């Protein structure tokens, strides 16, 4: 009976330690995501999506929309946690806390938007080439 109790306590201790590590890993990953400039991107998206919300209802809209961010951060964190180790996330957090990392985070959204427009123009160019060869 004592052995069963000890085994149960041991399994419980391991499970608790893994859960704590997983929670810490997720928190670090969400911190990383926020450091990359996601907060500004999501705030901008919330403003753009709610552009037509009447001014009298904007505060309530923003509060409810901001309430959805926790779930979104959790989902995005899950993606990163599948691709990066906890150690790698710690390194990324350290980088984004440097002056260069902060500069990258500040510029990332604008660079991504410009790159997307370049990609769209390139796609149209290649599409025209494909049509020429049909």
Give pLDDT tens digits for 117-133: 999 999 999 999 999 88
Count of beta carbons in the 10 Å neighbourhood of residue 4: 8
- Is the residue at 16 inside a domain? no
Where do the DSSP E strands lie in 79-127? none
- Give every residue of the chain whose pLDDT is below 70, as ranges: 1-21
- Is the residue at 83 inside a domain? yes
- Is the residue at 18 inside a domain? no
d(CA 36, CA 56): 32
Which pLDDT score is estimated for 10? Answer: 47
Residue 42 domain boundaries: 26-127
Name the residue among 121, 93, 114, 113 with its Cα closest to residue 44: 113
- Is the residue at 10 inside a domain? no
- Is the residue at 78 inside a domain? yes
Which pLDDT score is estimated for 19? Answer: 46
Which pLDDT score is estimated for 16? Answer: 46
d(CA 65, CA 75): 16
Tokens of 57: 């209802």
Which pLDDT score is estimated for 5? Answer: 47
- Is the residue at 85 inside a domain? yes
- Is the residue at 13 inside a domain? no
- Is the residue at 20 inside a domain? no
- pTM score, two decimals? 0.70
Which pLDDT score is estimated for 15? Answer: 46
Domain count, the chain: 1
Cβ 31 vs Cβ 42: under 8 Å: no
Count of beta carbons in the 10 Å neighbourhood of residue 5: 9
């Amino acid at each position: 009976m004592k052995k069963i109790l000890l085994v149960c306590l041991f399994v419980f201790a391991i499970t608790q330690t893994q859960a704590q590590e997983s929670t810490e890993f997720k928190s670090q990953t969400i911190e990383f995501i926020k450091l990359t400039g996601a907060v500004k991107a999501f705030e901008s998206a919330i403003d753009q999506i709610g552009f037509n919300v009447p001014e009298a209802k904007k505060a309530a809209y923003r509060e409810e929309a901001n309430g959805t961010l926790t779930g979104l951060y959790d989902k995005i964190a899950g993606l990163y946690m599948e691709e990066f180790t906890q150690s790698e996330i710690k390194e990324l957090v350290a980088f984004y806390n440097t002056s260069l990392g902060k500069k990258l985070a500040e510029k990332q959204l604008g660079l991504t938007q410009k790159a997307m427009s370049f990609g769209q123009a390139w796609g149209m160019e290649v599409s025209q080439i494909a049509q020429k060869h049909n």
